[in-house]
Amino acid sequence: MPIKSKMFRVATEGATTDGRNIERSWLVQAAKNYNRNTFGARVNMEHLRSLYPDSAFRSYGDIVSVEAKEEDGKMRLYAEIAPLPELVALSKAGQKIYTSIEINPKFADTGEAYLVGLAVTDNPASLGTEMLSFAAKNPQASPFASRKSHPDALFSEAVQIDLAFDEEAEDGGKFSAKLREILGKFSAKAKGDDARMGEVVAVLEEVAETVAAQDAAFTAQVKRTDTLTNDLAELKKAFGDLKAVVDKIDKTPAPNYTQRPPATGSNASGAAQTDC
C-alpha cells in the first residue's frame, strides 16, 4: 500500500536561514501556493541532489501537501510527505531525524514564496545556526550555493521531527469510505423519518461492514500474492545462476585433461595401414 506521513512541522516564522529569518508571509504563501502540478518538491538528503538513482543523495520521497498554522503567536509550516521505502526504513532505525526546508521567497514569476524542497539529515550542525550565519555573511564561500535549486532560495535551520506514517487504502478502501459517506447521509435522514428508514440504514450498515471485511481480506491476499511473486522471481534468478554454473562446469575440461586423437578407421585416405 502507498504510505504517507502524518502532518509534521518543518518551519517556524523567525527561524534562521542562510540569508534572512523566515518571514510569516513566506509560510502563508508557501502553504497557499503549493501544488504538485505546478512544481512537485522532493525529499532529499543534506539538500544534495544526485542524478543517479543508486546514489545516497537520490530522492527519498515527495512533498504531498503543505499547510500553515498559527500556534503560540507564531506561524508554522506543516508538511505531509509520501516517503519511499528507504526513508521509512531510515526513520524506523532512528536515522535522519532532522529536517530543513528549501524555500524560494519569490518563486518563478509569481513573486511569492514557494516550498521547493525538504532535506533530511543526521547532523543538525551542518544546517545549524552557526553554519547558516556563516553562509549568509560569506555568500561567495557558502557551502550551500551549489546545492540550491535557485540562487534566491534559502535553507532553514534543521529541526528535529518525529515522523509517523499511515498506509493509504487502495481502491476497495475508497469504495468503503464512499459507502460510509452515503450511510451517514441516510442516518441523518433517518432521525427525522419513520422506522422504515431506520431499517434501511441497518441493512446498509451490514453491507458496509461486509464490504470492509472483504476489502481487508482482498488487501491481505494482494500482499500475499506480491510476496509469492517476489519469492518466485528470486527462485528463478537463483535457478538461472545455478544453471549457468553447471553449464560452465560441463564445458570446462578437467585439470591435466588431454583430448584423444580422432579415430581414423572410417577415413580410407587417412587410415593407418599395417606393413605386412
The residues carrying an active-site annotation are 18, 47, 100
- Taking phi first (over 0 means left), then psi (-120 to 50 degrees means alpha), and beta for anything else, what does residue 252 get? beta
Grid cell digits, residue 155: 535553507
- CA distance readout (Å), 128 to 17, 100, 160, 200: 9, 10, 11, 61
Pairing label, strands 42-45, 114-121 = parallel
Q: How far apart are CA 85 and CA 61, in angstroms?
A: 9
Q: Please check whether residue 113 is in contact with residue 103, taking contact to mean a CB–CB distance below 8 angstroms.
A: yes
Q: How far apart are CA 88 and CA 139, in angstroms?
A: 35
Q: How far apart are CA 209 and CA 243, in angstroms?
A: 51
- CA distance readout (Å), 177 to 128, 171, 183, 273: 44, 10, 10, 95
Question: Residues 41, 107, 23, CA angle at the centre, nearest 5°?
Answer: 95
Rg (CA), the chain: 32
Match 587417412 to its residue by C-alpha cell.
270
Helix (H) or strand (E) holding 5: strand 3-5
